[in-house]
């Protein structure tokens, strides 16, 4: 029998976090992470998460991060938290004077994106090195807070010239009546986005990458956002409104739900 997932359970390299361990993210926070939802000890797109961690670790530290070892550490942390359903993050750090990456696994209660239509406020910011997922992004958090204060749900990041890139904590997709369109701009390829791309291709409804400008979003019939917690329709970007395409959201939801799960 499992116990309720604690507010936060943290392990470093397979043991419960100590005060010395927590100094690593506090004072040497240069690193990367991936976030996933675990249900009944399974994860959609686990191989993609493990590939992301290894690729980022190679780029940042010049060291591999073994996927099977990470899988074991996730399972160990879930055991420590007494959880089968959870929100899990795996971080990779290289402490000062260390020659080995130290994985940090955090376990919280499970989460799912509220499916209510979202409103996005555009902001003039594009992340540097956007293909690396990392914590502590001040500017994203700042603009996200500003958007919420202005009555929006999230910030929409745009590069110079008004090119749409991604949401502050999401990917964004558009529907032109024929295809799902992902902005062709530097951005993090989220795991949910990748699962939808591959899943749509399998249903013979391939999605496309195309440049999307802020002044051109009104040409699309609908829009939606995705992240590790799921997906939701978008009903407004600044003053541009979108109808919620129920058929599209049903299709995307089915593709996402049908994505294979792997055991941790």
User: How far lies 146's CA from each of 34, 124, 141, 202, 213, in Å?
Assistant: 25, 12, 9, 39, 22
Check residue 204 and give its pLDDT: 86
36 close to 53: Cβ distance less than 8 angstroms: no
CA distance 196 to 194: 5
Q: H/E element holding 86?
A: strand 86-93
Buried b (16+ CB within 10 A) or exposed e, 178-195: eebbbbebebbbbbbbbb
168 close to 126: Cβ distance less than 8 angstroms: no
Backbone torsions φ then ψ of 143, nearest 5 degrees: -70, -35
Token pair belonging to 113? 């994106």
Length of the chain: 264
Q: H/E element holding 147?
A: helix 138-149
Check residue 4 and give its pLDDT: 54
Backbone torsions φ then ψ of 171, nearest 5 degrees: -95, 155
Q: Cβ neighbours of residue 197 under 8 Å, at least 6 residues apart?
A: 182, 207
Residues of the chain with pLDDT under 70: 1-6
CA distance 78 to 84: 7
Token pair belonging to 201? 């291709």
CA distance 39 to 50: 17
- Domains of the chain, start order: 9-108 (3.30.470.10), 118-259 (3.20.10.10)
Check residue 1 and give its pLDDT: 41
CA distance 193 to 189: 7
In whole angstroms, how large is the CA radius of gyration of the chain?
19
Asked whether the whole model's pTM tops 0.85, one would answer yes
Check residue 7 and give its pLDDT: 82
Check residue 29 and give its pLDDT: 79
Q: H/E element holding 195?
A: helix 191-202
Backbone torsions φ then ψ of 99, nearest 5 degrees: -110, 5
CB neighbours of residue 258 within 10 Å: 12
Q: Which of 58, 55, 238 is nearest to 150 (CA)?
A: 238
């Amino acid at each position: 029998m499992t116990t309720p997932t604690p507010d936060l359970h943290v392990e470093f390299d397979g043991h419960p976090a100590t005060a010395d361990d927590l100094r690593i993210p506090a004072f040497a926070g240069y690193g990367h992470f991936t976030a996933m939802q675990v249900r009944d000890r399974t994860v959609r797109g686990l191989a993609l998460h493990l590939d992301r961690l290894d690729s980022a670790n190679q780029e940042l530290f010049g060291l591999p991060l073994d996927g099977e070892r990470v899988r074991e550490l996730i399972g160990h942390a879930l055991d420590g938290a007494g959880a089968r359903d959870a929100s899990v993050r795996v971080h990779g750090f290289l402490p000062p004077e260390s020659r080995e990456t130290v994985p940090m696994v955090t376990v919280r209660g499970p989460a799912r994106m509220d499916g209510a239509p979202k409103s996005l406020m555009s902001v003039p910011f594009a992340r540097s090195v956007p293909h690396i997922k990392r914590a502590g992004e001040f500017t994203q958090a700042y603009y996200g807070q500003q958007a919420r204060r202005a009555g929006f749900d999230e910030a929409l990041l745009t590069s110079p010239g008004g090119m749409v890139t991604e949401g502050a904590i999401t990917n964004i997709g558009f529907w032109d009546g024929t295809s799902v369109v992902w902005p062709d701009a530097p951005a993090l390829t989220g795991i949910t986005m990748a699962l939808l791309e591959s899943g749509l291709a399998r249903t013979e409804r391939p999605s496309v990458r195309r440049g999307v400008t802020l002044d051109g979003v009104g040409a699309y019939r609908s829009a939606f956002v995705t992240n590790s917690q799921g997906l939701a329709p978008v009903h407004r970007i600044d003053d541009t409104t979108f109808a919620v395409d129920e058929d599209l959201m049903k299709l995307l939801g089915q593709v996402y739900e049908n994505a294979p799960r792997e055991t941790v």
